[in-house]
Amino acid sequence: MATLLAGVVFIGGGIGVLTGEFQATPVLSGSMVPRLPVGSVAVSQRESVRDLRVGDIALLHPPFGAPITYVHEIVKLRRVRGLTQVNTRGIANPIADPWTVVIRGTSVYVVRWDIPYVGYLVSWVRTPTGRASTVSAAGLLSLLLVLWFVRDVWRSSHADSAHAASSGVESVQDERAE
């Protein structure tokens, strides 16, 4: 039962990530300890920018154009001429981040849960070796499932033949064939 539940959660989470409703972000620094431990995965849900509040923990991009995403708490929020501006801080950091982020879209990801230790795995899977290993493992698992299915079909057909032979059905068929 626990395996079934884990499978449903895993598939549901995968669908949520693929549709863009959720994001899973590995926590690689200690700036959000103790709320988000290093090595965990921050699970974020897409929300309207209008619903953002001070105290929300959000996935944001720093304003200086770096292709990174960071996860920090919103400590100041202003709405100016239709744009939302936020200042953030890592909970473990003594001071706020030295920039203001202007959110130009209509939605932002807000952290809802964290899953301890899974961030290490997610970070590894994002490496070339991790991707190749994951694809290989998925292929091997698929092959094993197909072989298991074929084995069950083979066993079932042989069991039917054995049952027919013991009931005399096969011998009658043999006599007719002669």
The per-residue pLDDT for range 2-61, each reduced to its tens digit, is 666 666 666 766 676 678 799 989 999 999 999 999 999 999 999 999 999 999 999 999
Model confidence band, residue 161 (pLDDT cutoffs 50, 70, 90): low
**Residue 174 pLDDT greater than 90, yes or no:** no
With 0-12 / 13-18 / 19 or more C-beta atoms within 10 angstroms meaning exposed / middle / buried, residue 74 is buried
- pLDDT per position as a tens digit, 87-135: 999 999 999 999 999 998 999 999 999 999 988 888 888 889 988 998 8
**Residue 159 pLDDT greater than 90, yes or no:** no
Give the pTM.
0.67
Rg of the chain over CA atoms, in angstroms? 27
How far apart are alpha carbons 42 and 61 in whole angstroms? 15
With 0-12 / 13-18 / 19 or more C-beta atoms within 10 angstroms meaning exposed / middle / buried, residue 109 is buried
Model confidence band, residue 173 (pLDDT cutoffs 50, 70, 90): low
Report which of 102, 105, 57 is spatially closest to residue 80, judged by C-alpha positions.
102
With 0-12 / 13-18 / 19 or more C-beta atoms within 10 angstroms meaning exposed / middle / buried, residue 13 is middle
E strand map for 17-69: 22-26, 41-48, 57-60
